Structure 1
Amino acid sequence: METEIPALLRARESVGEERFTFHSSRMRMKHVTKEELAAMDADSDRCALELSDARVDVMGYACLVAIMSMGHGYHCVSGPRLQQVAADNGASTPVVTSAGALIEGLRAMGAKRVAVVAPYMKPLTEMVVDYIRHEGFEVSDYRALEIQDNLAVAAHDPMNLPDIVAGMNTDNVDAVVLSACVQMPSLPAVPMVEARTGKPVVTAAIATTWQMLKALDVETRVPGGGTLLSGAY
């Protein structure tokens, strides 16, 4: 959240007149387990309240698996609830979630079948896959990198991703979800994987930025942001 989304906003500044400030409030989590994710999600109201003090123009809840681990369709519950928290503090601020943004981004591109890479342990990855399938997509193939420590997720080398995708079946997919996690870096690998597979590539960070820009009524054209941030959607 605090690296790739600001990087995308800076890239947007290179081609547009907008200038962005970035503010964050943290929900605590050390290990990516269902129990810690539930505790983390319970802390999201506090974060929304704190950020609403700054009268920001849009908020992004950037933990995809925290949302998806709370049950099918939870992004439709979380976003409006956090928006109400902000409104009750006198700040009517749109709220997007990385989980909802990924779903909406895939729909915007017309994707039906996807391949997914996630850093989580296999049970959590399967939960994410099930959530995506419940939203109407076919997940043809997926990889769980089984990294439980949250800092280790952030330290994963994004240039490992092209070879990981090369070992997956992407022939019949409409899009590749290169990182189903805002925490796992992937931006440097996006153009390479798009070139190698010939498929649109999206990540949780790219989708979150896309939906934030839409909420701000800003053109969704960001250099290096892959197909979803080409400006076509």
Structure 2
Amino acid sequence: MSRPFRIGQIVPSSNTTMETEVPAMLQAHSQLRPNDRFTFHSSRMRMKKVEKDELAAMDAESDRCALELSDAQVDVLGYACLVAIMAMGHGYHRVSQKRLTDRTIANGATAPVITSAGALVDALKIMKATKIALVAPYMVPLTKLVMDYISNEGFEIVDWRALEIPDNLDVGRHDPARLPGIVAGMNYADADVIVLSACVQMPSLPAVAEVEALTRKPVVTASIATTYAILTELGLEPVVPGAGALLSGAYPMRAASSGAAA
């Protein structure tokens, strides 16, 4: 296409990471594939505390955000809050993706919608994982809710860590250099894949290569899974240097989506 691809993101108002990690990965992709160029556009939903009631209120704003971004005629739209989707009940990423895509269609500017929740589920299927180890920044009740959602999609969680950070800004301030030490204390021997961050707000990209070297396991994060989904939705090769196994080129084809068409 003659113009850059327009990447739309629906983000929590307190999110400070998704608009850095996803653009960083897509710009790194552009270094390998100079014809693939991107611009980035966001709409925000109010959220400060990572609590179930506040997440539900935030999710109600996603329709407005989809309309706003479709006004810009974005080429793909990403819903950048994993726990908000998973807190709404099993399989809700499919409901959200279809509803928000329908909003863009009604606005005369159709844009396929990806959720970070659905992207992570799809990524684990693409990587042929059956057992995973998982790190999340949430309080224990929300972490258990996320694990239950993922388990319902067919995965066994062999070990997990909840970092219990209630404030979303503090989640974004968590030092990714701490993640290798956290994983080192986990029982990941039987895991097929390590989910280093089951949250798009907790920075993790700088630690991915180190954790893969430490564990000798493929590592994925919610933001890496979202980037893979964006690239494949646009028909682009899902390769990004330094972004772990999923974006190494080892998984060139996207599996059947768990989204609206599923």
Normalising by the smaller structure, the TM-score range is: over 0.9
RMSD: 0.5
Which residue matches 2:258?
Answer: none
Q: Secondary structure at the match of 1:22?
A: strand
Is the strand fraction higher in 1 or 2?
2
What code does the residue aligned with 1:50 have?
E
Residue 85 (1) aligns with residue 129 (2): no
What code does the residue aligned with 1:201 have?
V
1:1-233 mapped onto 2 (5 Å cutoff): 1-16=18-33, 17-233=35-251
What code does the residue aligned with 2:164 have?
E
Cα offset, 1:225, TM superposition: 1.2
Contact 1:8–1:222 under 8 Å retained in 2: yes
Question: Deviations for 1:70-94, whole angstroms, at most 9, x for unmatched residues?
Answer: 0000001000100000010001111
Quote the Cα distance in structure 1 between the aligned partners of 2:45 and 2:199: 15
Q: Secondary structure at the match of 1:55?
A: coil
Quote the Cα distance in structure 2 between the aligned partners of 1:42 and 1:200: 35
Question: Deviations for 1:39-70, whole angstroms, at most 9, x for unmatched residues?
Answer: 01000001000000000100000100000000
What code does the residue aligned with 1:58 have?
V
Q: Secondary structure at the match of 1:184?
A: coil
Contact 1:220–1:232 under 8 Å retained in 2: no
Alignment length (residue pairs): 233
Quote the Cα distance in structure 2 between the aligned partners of 1:65 and 1:108: 21
Cα offset, 1:157, TM superposition: 0.2
What code does the residue aligned with 1:6 have?
P
Residue ranges of structure 2 left out of the alignment (5+ in a row): 1-17, 252-262
Cα offset, 1:232, TM superposition: 2.2
What code does the residue aligned with 1:10 have?
Q
Q: Secondary structure at the match of 1:143?
A: strand
After the TM superposition, list the runs of 4 or more consecutive aligned residues in structure 1 that deviate by more than 6 angstroms.
none
What code does the residue aligned with 1:65 have?
V
Q: Secondary structure at the match of 1:23?
A: strand
Q: Secondary structure at the match of 1:225?
A: coil
Quote the Cα distance in structure 2 between the aligned partners of 1:121 and 1:55: 37
Cα offset, 1:224, TM superposition: 1.3
Cα offset, 1:202, TM superposition: 0.2
Quote the Cα distance in structure 1 between the aligned partners of 2:170 and 2:242: 24
Contact 1:48–1:86 under 8 Å retained in 2: yes
Q: Secondary structure at the match of 2:40?
A: coil
TM-score normalised according to structure 1 size: 0.99
Quote the Cα distance in structure 2 between the aligned partners of 1:164 and 1:158: 10
Q: Secondary structure at the match of 2:45?
A: coil
